[in-house]
Amino acid sequence: MTTPLLESPDDAPQAGASTSQPRTHAAAQVHLPVRSEHAGIEPYGAPQLDVPVLLNVNENPYAPSAEVVATIAADVATAAATLNRYPDRDFLGLRQDLADYLAGESGVRVAPEQVWAANGSNEVMLHLLQAFGGPGRTALSFAPTYSMYPEYARDTSTAWVTGRRAEDFTLDPEAARAAIVAHAPSVILLASPNNPTGTALTREVVEAVCEAALAVTPHGAEPGTSAVVVVDEAYGEFRRAGVPSALELLERYPNLAVSRTMSKAFALAGARVGYLAASTTLVDALRVVRLPYHLSAATQAVARAALKHSSSLLAQVDALRAERDATVTWLRAQRPAALGGAALQVADSDANFVLFGTFPDRHAVWQGLLDRGVLIRETGPEGWLRVSIGTPQEMTAFKDALVEVAGL
């Protein structure tokens, strides 16, 4: 029997060595096939810092009551007894409860089949871009607006374009129509109230956008196809009296979707529940792209338990509105030394936050507040800062810190 020749002396097994020893590869030497549009990008997220006053991510500062917590705990315990089974993938019970809530909150009655929910309004938006965006298609919004919108577009290989808002952050209907004609988008994203500015859209603007979307065929679509218009009302419950909800236009426009969240007004940011209302045709398109059983039994139980207590959970909304309006008034009265004694600019707000500026070095102001235990958000156009509305005690801490930092 002939012994096989080794290709080189280095191939010879060493005494006592295993011939099946796995090779270890250094992570720095292995290049993964990351999509080019994701290369070098840092994950989205506001700073999460342990400071006494957190006013940077528009949370509701008032925790759910003991009564609400008890109901949630009991309903989740009931759901836990069936966790060996998959949850109801169409969650019609939750959709009925959300439809009932919207009818009471806005006066608009929709069928449960017209409601869709997911793990936060972020996932709702992603479903919309998965269903109606994609390669060769375009999503349009109007800057400045929510910083996650372009990320939804990027992650679905949808082209992202923006028109501009006016100096006061409002949206001119003619400018909106012109942008829709110029870009022929498949999806139009409108935040109302807008983040980070707090600006609400008028009915005239939403109607103009919906009409333009019906009249323009999106790039690559068959004639007669209309763009989907999404009005993101994540902060809708905080709007001032007389400011309409786009829900009132759903019956007229089958290409319109209105999204909401339970994170803000319901004080359930940790539950991750967002939803929208739209035509059944639009909702059915979202059901195609959702992952199987995407909304867990525990999440459904939490949301339905909270909706049983909608009145008490929303009881603080009026107080937060009043605190917001008082904060706007106070900021507009200030004359910072950093601005040479000029008044601060403060955007009108229908949300639970206020955008103010403009500072030559906004980061220095942000850092000065942080050094004093107050965390706000460095976001929006250059020179602007955003403060979430907290408890009266938290807002006093914010004002005292800003007086020190900005030389008010």
Summarize the confidence of residues 209-220 as an average pLDDT: 96
pLDDT band for position 23 (50/70/90)?
Answer: confident
Mean pLDDT over all residues of the chain? Answer: 93
CB-based burial of residue 84 (10 Å sphere; 0-12 exposed, 13-18 middle, 19+ buried)? exposed
Q: Which domain holds residue 362?
A: 53-62+316-406
**CA 214 to each of CA 177, 226, 253: distance values in angstroms, whole numbers, following the listed order:** 11, 5, 9
pLDDT band for position 19 (50/70/90)?
Answer: low
Per residue in 326-352, pLDDT tens?
999 999 999 988 778 889 999 999 999
Based on the fold, state whether residues 301 and 262 are members of the same structural domain: yes
Pull the structure tokens for residue 16. Answer: 């006592």
Q: Determine, yes or no, domain membership for 46.
A: no
Give the integer Cα–Cα distance in Å for 203 and 197: 18
Q: Determine, yes or no, domain membership for 225.
A: yes
Q: Characterize the bridge pairing of strands 345-346 and 353-357.
A: antiparallel
Based on the fold, state whether residues 288 and 324 are members of the same structural domain: no
Based on the fold, state whether residues 252 and 287 are members of the same structural domain: yes
Summarize the confidence of residues 108-130 as an average pLDDT: 98
Q: For residue 62, what are the contacts with CB-CB under 8 A and spacing of at least 6?
A: 267, 316, 391
Q: Determine, yes or no, domain membership for 38.
A: no
Q: What is the largest CA-CA distance in the chain?
A: 99
Name the pTM for this structure. 0.90
At 39 the pLDDT is 85
Boundary-marking domain end, from 310, 342, 370: 310
Q: Determine, yes or no, domain membership for 35.
A: no
Based on the fold, state whether residues 290 and 153 are members of the same structural domain: yes
What is the rounded (10 degree) CA torsion for 13, 19, 21, 25? 60
Based on the fold, state whether residues 206 and 278 are members of the same structural domain: yes
Residue 3 has pLDDT above 70, yes or no: no
pLDDT band for position 38 (50/70/90)?
Answer: confident
CB 115 within 8 A of CB 300: no
- Chain centroid to Cα 229, Å, comes to 16
Q: Residue 191: in which H helix or E strand, if any?
A: strand 187-191
Based on the fold, state whether residues 208 and 139 are members of the same structural domain: yes
pLDDT band for position 2 (50/70/90)?
Answer: very low
Boundary-marking domain end, from 258, 280, 310: 310
Per residue in 356-396, pLDDT tens?
999 999 999 999 999 999 999 999 999 999 999 999 999 99
Looking at residue 204, which CATH number applies to its domain?
3.40.640.10
Q: Determine, yes or no, domain membership for 97.
A: yes
Based on the fold, state whether residues 90 and 165 are members of the same structural domain: yes
Summarize the confidence of residues 214-218 as an average pLDDT: 96
Residue 103 has pLDDT above 60, yes or no: yes
How many helices and strands, by DSSP H and E, does the chain display?
12, 12
Based on the fold, state whether residues 71 and 57 are members of the same structural domain: no
Per residue in 263-296, pLDDT tens?
999 999 999 999 999 999 999 999 999 999 999 9
Residue 1 has pLDDT above 70, yes or no: no
Q: Determine, yes or no, domain membership for 343.
A: yes
Based on the fold, state whether residues 236 and 261 are members of the same structural domain: yes
Based on the fold, state whether residues 78 and 127 are members of the same structural domain: yes
Based on the fold, state whether residues 80 and 179 are members of the same structural domain: yes
Q: Residue 163: in which H helix or E strand, if any?
A: strand 159-164
Q: Determine, yes or no, domain membership for 156.
A: yes
Triad 154, 36, 153: Cα angle to 5°: 5
Q: Determine, yes or no, domain membership for 40.
A: no
Boundary-marking domain end, from 310, 339, 368: 310
Pull the structure tokens for residue 57. Answer: 């991510």
Looking at residue 377, which CATH number applies to its domain?
3.90.1150.10
Based on the fold, state whether residues 378 and 281 are members of the same structural domain: no
Per residue in 166-197, pLDDT tens?
999 999 999 999 999 999 999 999 999 999 99
Closest-CA residue to 183 (of 162, 165, 169, 201): 162
Per residue in 298-320, pLDDT tens?
999 999 999 999 999 998 999 99
Total domain count, the chain: 2
Per residue in 46-102, pLDDT tens?
778 889 999 999 999 999 999 999 999 999 999 999 999 999 999 999 999 999 999
